[in-house]
Amino acid sequence: MGSLGRVFIADVQKQIIDVFESDGRFLVQLGGKGDGPSEFSYIKRLKIRNNHLYAFDANFGTRKVNTFTLDTLAGGKTILLIKNRSKYRSLAKAYPGIYKAYVRNNGTYLAEFISRNPRQKVKKWQNVEMNGLFYLLDDNGMITSKLFEFKSETRTQLKAFLYHVKPFFGNALTVLSKDNRIYWAGPNYFLIKVYSPDGAYQRAFYYPHKKISITRESAIEAEVSDSFIRDMNSMNLPVNWPVLRQMKFDDQDRLWVATTVKDMKVFEWWVLKPDGQLIARFNWPRSKPIQVIKNGYIYTKEKNNDGLEEIVRYRIEMK
């Protein structure tokens, strides 16, 4: 949300950005599929900083960021990322491009890479642990320093490639506060670690949370893909569902965390202060995934009666 209160939501199927006024009215679309300026191959992440919209394009060959000015919605710079990657030996085993990119409030970037041992021979149905590596980039997209490493996600060998079966295994979650602090959590515990902008560990906060066993019945209730459900007996699955599923900061720097509960049709969302103090908890349907929390509203992406996706706005009231 910029000074005009507009909301921006990516449509990854059409490779466009839908722009809405603060009252929820549709305004315009930005971008489009292509390799030119202000065009996208795969919109991975949107972030608003310093009166600009930053759109991370996670094209396999070239990772780039397209910027748009919030007031005029005009396309700005296209920034190619990690052009100096070859100078960092620790990235030799990482995949060709950035896995995720985060924009900091000074126009620099936090980049996440993932890696594994390329010499490891993997059999069908075998799980492989993927490591995450955080690096800082300057405002021109050049790597400046390495921060820290962590376990990113588990992938499973399916047919000829490694696939992230996210519903069962989850993944590490990372968000940035307004002052560039890094909030990181693994999927299996409600334990959130806080790092300084330069990657130094500061503190953590923890909440006990009941774990829910993975069963075929619970997978069906959670509307997991039929292909995954058919393969459950062949895969080496964890015993329990991931505890943490999503993390987001809203425009008031409150941390929103989605957790797994017994009712697999919903997530239990926790709203926390930056220090971890609980503000509120509520259940929300999985079928109405939360995209943005801004302006006192939740914006979701839902399917209407015709099966078409639409953006729906709900008012937030914290009691």
H, E, C per residue of 107-144: CCEEEEEEECCCCCCCCCCCEEEEEEEEEEECCCCCEE
pTM above 0.95, yes or no: no
pLDDT tens for residues 106-128?
A: 989 999 999 887 777 889 999 99
How many percent of the chain have pLDDT more than 70? 97
- What residue type is 118 in one-letter code? P
User: In the prediction, which pLDDT does 98 show?
Assistant: 86
Task: Give the separation between CA 72 and CA 197, rounded to whole angstroms.
Answer: 31
User: In the prediction, which pLDDT does 1 show?
Assistant: 45
How many percent of the chain have pLDDT more than 90? 61
User: In the prediction, which pLDDT does 134 show?
Assistant: 95
User: In the prediction, which pLDDT does 124 show?
Assistant: 92
Burial of 116 (0-12, 13-18, 19+ CB in 10 A): middle
Q: Are 60 and 44 in contact (CB under 8 A)?
A: no
pLDDT tens for residues 260-272?
A: 999 999 999 999 9
User: In the prediction, which pLDDT does 263 show?
Assistant: 98
User: In the prediction, which pLDDT does 90 show?
Assistant: 83
- Ranges of residues in the chain whose predicted pLDDT is under 70: 1-4, 60-62, 96, 319
Pure H helices in 100-146: none
pLDDT tens for residues 83-92?
A: 999 898 888 7
Which residues contact residue 41 at a Cβ distance below 8 angstroms, ignoring those fewer than 6 apart? 15, 33, 34, 35, 57, 58, 59
**HSE toward the beta carbon, residue 199, CA cutoff 13 A:** 15
Q: Which residue has the tokens 């829910």?
A: 212
Dihedral sign (CA 264, 269, 270, 274): positive
Q: Are 269 and 284 in contact (CB under 8 A)?
A: yes
- What is residue 141's three-state secondary structure? coil
- What is residue 12's three-state secondary structure? coil
Q: Which residue has the tokens 């926390």?
A: 272
Task: Give the separation between CA 253 and CA 257, rounded to whole angstroms.
Answer: 13
CA distances from 102 to 31, 152, 222 (A): 20, 16, 29
Which residues contact residue 318 at a Cβ distance below 8 angstroms, ignoring those fewer than 6 apart? 271, 279, 280
